[in-house]
Structure 1
């Protein structure tokens, strides 16, 4: 073993010398829960795992570090099989079954006339920081990714809206940016990114357009396991888009942000796997018990497993370093039919930052380029698992959830008994398509919900997390404030033990104020004063039925929220229909509800409840549009009987007047007892509305499903003036 800049690097020579039949054990300092000395501010040493990343010295550093982790993972799995085999070699099938039963019993628990004067744009978290989506709008044209193609709709005048052009995109197009005369399109290729052993997000099969993790309550921000392609189109002539560039990565799209011309994309690479590794000796029968009955002694079983382990070590050792690093193939299409192709790693080995936590065995690259520039793509690569992404004008954060492994070192910064943690990696963004700089990392207790649980203010990061899982009485939430000191994100202050026995359902920050909604039976909205980062505090609280999954900043003193109504059952509550609210926070100590609208019953659903990109608040005209599948007839724990509406609902929303329904743009016929098709069994975190997005242009609304765009005037929403199919060429 050797120590390199604070990283424990396991050489394969030392690994091959482990005792016969024994699983790999960490070096003495790791086995005692201590890491090797690291270069920290002030030269202090830290016990336990560290969230900080350390820059590699060379390709040898990268290879040795990653291969050491691969060996550890291989040894852990092999040891589990060996333990089972040794049990089977010392017990008959009858004895083995009796002990299994006992164990199971214990485990049972452009032009003026061609562009609308006012129009809605993508609903982003941070002003002037664009987020990729499958619909974009510039007031004159509507851009939609549908049926494998990039489509341009001539959208103004709205009554005459029609399809203008389409361009085939390789793979499954998922998200895009449109800036000036350029489209940047993200698509998932049919080919899987390099799969990893036992990795739950490396996935297979067809890409599901609606399977992306957006809300984060019961899903992981992990990418789809498919290779990513970025396609760049020239839109100088909207009727004839021209292919300019294609970039193919051996990793998957995680998230991205655009600040003016600069596009920053997080690409996640599945942890590296070595093919043909074995985890069970060929000589042993593949049985769950009774190796003793087949004549194998424990010593013979142990010898056979040791042979497998040594063979696996040789395979890992022979794996070339070039296969470990993230790479890209960049193809530029020159006018006249020429091609310029380059291919290679995204980052040099000595420009990679390595993790000091044991659960990171793959890479994440933040890839940057400037729209309109021909320069090669720049990237910064770190060793990290994927996570939730938050972006400001100057910074890009990745927040990674961790569950404590009793066999691995844990974060010494956390108090005793904390079993969940979130590490945060910060990148400093550079303009002009330059590579972002890795800045710092930190750790907080609990798990982050989604991007809205993070916010940057005066260089400090505020992050809300929940520790524990319902219905554990010890569940509580925390809002921590972190500041960059050297390469560490250091805690300045926190509000802890927020809403005991409840977990976080939504978060929103506004300047020095934070809003946190938790839930178990009612919807406590906590108002936090964060003006003093060293002493944040709870300013006010509001308890109302139900819970909000999304909070929109309506204006300086009002929140426009969306979520679910609830039916209190004493120890718990049933979620019910979709709930919209206008909440007055003028007096931070006494927030109160101005108006509430409950839509449908249990089983009603809206993509906007779990994806902010589907929530369209057109402040210029006080308009709100939300996709909606309305179900009626359910109550308590019973889902609605029939779907009575599927389309887009539109409201006029004001502080004084509350919610005024203007009607709905239909996309499906209502169900009847004779046409029942089961559209009302929708769980609250699994949004499944037919309509996915909406766009306002003056007094017109565009209701966008995967197969069709319906265009209607606010005076007659039920009868669209135009309907544009999104299938075919």
Structure 2
């Protein structure tokens, strides 16, 4: 590579870093021994990376004011530097299991399609066997479907803000949506923090023809996901970088039009969530709140816990635990700065070293951590520009080699999926453990909790433009124990491809990856410490969703594809596939439909 080419390459990387295109990365949090469930949140503390609880809201304010937060830091970075070809999101479906019937209707009817038995998921159409509930724009229609000769619409519920989805559970209709109308109220306009709000409206269905609204809640933040388990609603709400001086520091709750105070010493009915954080540096933060509501009690208060996380992307829930996960990426500018300090510091002039020391020693009130890093990078770049052509060629070659070595050493940390586990069974979830695995998860179907408590995760590791020496993506499957510590893995499946769908079924896992054809992989998970690949099948197209028909048959829903004369893949119409997996070493496609 010529001197000019080297310099331009190096300068391009440097410019991307200074332009805010680096990716946030913090070292994965180590797992800790688990405390007694009752006092888990209070006791998981003390060591670096452990969970801690803020003693007061003033302590939380002090913490947030000391943090370096760049609100726009996370957007657009992954695609720009990592070069991902993101798979289209699969359908939000799962194994057909049933929610509890709300009436005494027939048992011979289709239930909501959910991933885990006993874990109810929201949808836009549901039935209890006698009545059908359907969301159409801003209305939910209630249709009496049995007996057929008497079928008719018996009620319509209208909402000013369009519902996103709803639950039907134990005689309750729970409607969730983005509260657009609250922005027009004088109460909202008095807030300095203009966050999105999520509404939850609960109706008693004792009389299907005249549902009675019994709860009207509006929670500050963006709705992420929800589940109903054992008559309890678990609602995940995100607030992004929401701290504003002199504003209420925690997300607000509006109950029946009244803002609940977070000072429970002066109010009988209040909303004062405990706030937890991990003892690690935060480049950015997200208030992730787990809100719990007992649907069987009309007067139940909303229980809430808020966690300072860098993000929350996927929710998986079993009958016993909730898992939150998100992807984190290596901060390339940290590696670049580390290499520059190692290789160039002793070559700086006395004046330049003094300036570097002043930047290091600046109080966080004067210079945030991000601002310090930017100034240090600028100092080293100015030093390089001032060198002669011959000297800069030597220095740039040395920096390039050192940077490659750094990337190779951090290969497994280029992108990771972080997982947080919360146990159920009390009036609100209890934090249990956290862990991480290399690669990124596609969606909730990339996760599974086994009967023995193991947690299984399927991920794709991206090509990353060869920054660590690799040029191909590949997929992995990891087995974690109940403490989220890795105990088994199968890695480097399907070189050059990405996961498009996953299905865990007992002691087997099925993965679909895609680049030009659709490989269906069958993996044996019976040995938790040594999972292995049993067989694979390659067919045209891809399945973005896998559904078990029975233990030996899978239904694949996806797209047909064809490869043109130039080797380009073109996506066609809908494709349905029927797979026979009775012989796991030789799966086969029984039939297909392309429309």
Give the match for residue 510 of structure 1: 505
Q: In the superposition, relative to structure 1, how do residues 392 and 75 fare at CA in structure 2: closer, same or farther (>3 Å)? A: closer
The structure 1 residue matched to 2:472, chosen from 471, 474, 487, is: 474
1:484: Cα distance to partner?
3.3
Of Structure 1 and Structure 2, which has the larger fraction of its residues in strand? 1
Q: Is 1:573 aligned to 2:497, yes or no? A: no
1:583 corresponds in structure 2 to: 579
Residue 174 (structure 1) aligns with: 164
Contact kept in structure 1, 2:326 and 2:417, CA below 8 Å: yes
Deviations 1:505-533 (A, max 9, x none): 00000011110100001111111111122
Kindly tell me: are residues 359 and 386 of structure 1, through their superposed partners in 2, closer, same or farther at Cα, counting changes over 3 Å?
farther
1:170, CA displacement in angstroms?
A: 4.3
What is the deviation of 1:440?
1.2
Deviation at 1:326, TM superposition (A): 2.1
**What is the match of residue 270 of structure 1?**
240
Matched, 1:526 2:496: no
Q: Is the contact made by 1:507 and 1:551 (CA closer than 8 Å) also made in structure 2?
A: yes
Residues 449-493 of structure 1 show CA distances to partners (whole Å, capped at 9, x for unaligned) of 0010100012111111111159974211111111233xxx21111
TM superposition shift of 1:159: 5.2
For residues 316-715 of structure 1, the aligned pairs below 5 Å read: 319-320=245-246, 323-331=248-256, 344-349=270-275, 352-354=276-278, 356=280, 358-373=282-297, 374-384=299-309, 385-408=311-334, 415-416=410-411, 418-431=413-426, 434-457=427-450, 458-468=452-462, 473-485=471-483, 489-569=484-564, 571-599=567-595
Aligned to 2:208: 238
SS of alignment partner, residue 588 of structure 1 = coil
**How far does residue 400 in structure 1 lie from its aligned partner after superposition?**
0.6
Distance 2:416 2:568 in 1: 26
- Displacement after TM superposition at 1:149 (Å): 2.7
3-state SS, counterpart of residue 116 of structure 2:
coil
How big is the shift at 1:73?
2.6
SS in 1 for 2:70: helix
Match in the other structure for 2:351: none
Alpha-carbon separation, structure 2, partners of 1:357 and 1:598:
51
User: What is aligned with 2:146?
Assistant: 156
More helix by share: 2
- Shift, 1:353, TM fit: 3.3
In the TM superposition, what is the alpha-carbon distance from 1:160 to its structure 2 partner? 4.3
Aligned residues: 440
Cα deviation per residue 1:234-268 (whole Å; 9 max; x = unaligned)? Answer: 11111111111111111121111112312211111
1:395 Cα offset (Å): 0.8
Picking from 182, 199, 208, the partner of 1:229 is 199
Distance 2:129 2:495 in 1: 47
Match of 1:258 in 2: 228
Shift of 1:148: 2.0
Structure 1 residues 38 and 423: CA distance shift in structure 2, 3 A: closer
Residues in 2 aligned to 1:579 and 1:441: alpha-carbon distance in whole angstroms = 38
Match in the other structure for 1:189: 179
8 Å CA contact retained: 1:249, 1:329: yes
Give yes or no for contact 2:30–2:49 (8 Å, CA) kept in 1.
Answer: no
Residue 598 of structure 1 deviates from its aligned partner by 1.2
Residue pair 1:51, 1:357 contacting (<8 A) in 2 also: no
Secondary structure of the corresponding residue to residue 356 of structure 1: coil
Measured on the aligned residues, the alpha-carbon RMSD in Å equals: 3.7
Secondary structure of 1:237's aligned partner: coil
Q: TM-score scaled to structure 2, two decimals? A: 0.67
Summarize deviations over 1:266-296 as a string: whole Å, max 9, x none: 111222154xxxxxxxxxxxxxxxxxxxxxx
Q: Greater shift after overlay, 568-577 or 135-144? A: 568-577
TM-score for both structures, normalised by structure 1: 0.55
Displacement of 1:38 after TM fit? 9.1
Cα distance in 2 for partners of 1:388, 1:584 equals: 30
Q: Distance in 2 between matches of 1:493 and 1:512?
A: 14
Show the 5 A alignment for 1:42-81. Answer: 53-69=51-67, 71-73=68-70
Bigger drift between 142-151 and 420-429 goes to 142-151
Q: Confirm or deny: 8 A CA contact 2:119 2:229 kept in the other structure.
A: yes
1:386-407, Cα deviation, whole Å (9 max, x unpaired): 2111111011111112232224
Q: Which runs of 5+ in 2 are unaligned?
A: 1-17, 19-24, 35-46, 75-82, 84-99, 184-193, 259-266, 339-405
